[in-house]
Structure 1
Amino acid sequence: MGRKIAEFRRAKNLTQKELAEKSGISKSYLKKIEEGHYKRPHVKTLAIIADTLEVELKKLLGEE
C-alpha cells in the first residue's frame, strides 16, 4: 500500500512534504506509511490521503 501511495504521489508531482501538508498528516508518518513501517494505517488516514491524491481508496488498497 505504501508503494501505491508513493506512486500516486509522484504521478501528481508532489513531495512527501507537500502531500503531508495538503492532507494534514505529518511528513514523518506519511514517510513511514510509504516505507511500509505501518502495515495497517487507520482507514480514515488512508481516505484522507486518497482524497488529497484524487484517487479512489480501493486503488490505494490495491483492490482495483
Structure 2
Amino acid sequence: MDAPFGAVLRSHRKQRNLTQKELAEMAGLSERTIRRWETGQHRNPQIMSVQRVADALALEAAQRELLLVSALPKPPGDG
C-alpha cells in the first residue's frame, strides 16, 4: 500500500526540522494548505504546488518522485 501524501509530506518536513509555517513560507503557500495536506483534509493538491514544496524541501530525485506520486488522485475505490 502506498503511503498517503500527507504522511509523506510530514515525514520530509520533519526530517528537515521545519514547521508547517516555515515550509509554507519557503514554498509560497499558506500554512493552512500545508496543515490540510498533512492531516488529509485536502487530498488532491495541485501538482504545481506539490512541486513548489518539493523544491522548498530540496528533495532528491527519488524522494521528489515519491512525493509527487503520493499526491496523484487515487482511482475510485482505491482509498
Q: Common fold, TM-score beyond 0.5?
A: yes
1:11 CA displacement: 0.2
* Greater RCO structure (CA 8 Å; 6+ sep): 1
Count of matched residue pairs: 62
Give the structure with higher Rg (CA). Answer: 2
Alignment correspondent of 1:42: 46
Residue aligning to 2:29: 25
Q: Quick one: distance in 1 between partners of 2:26 and 2:43?
A: 22
Q: 1:15 aligns with which of 16, 19, 29?
A: 19
**Structure 2: any 5+ residue segments left out of the alignment?**
71-79
- Normalised TM-score (structure 2): 0.73
Share of identical aligned residues, percent? Answer: 32
Structure 1 residue runs of 5 or longer lacking an equivalent are: none
1:3 maps to 7
Deviation, structure 1 residue 23? 0.6
* RMSD of equivalent CA atoms: 1.1
Q: Distance in 2 between matches of 1:15 and 1:44?
A: 21
Cα displacement (A) at 1:58: 1.2
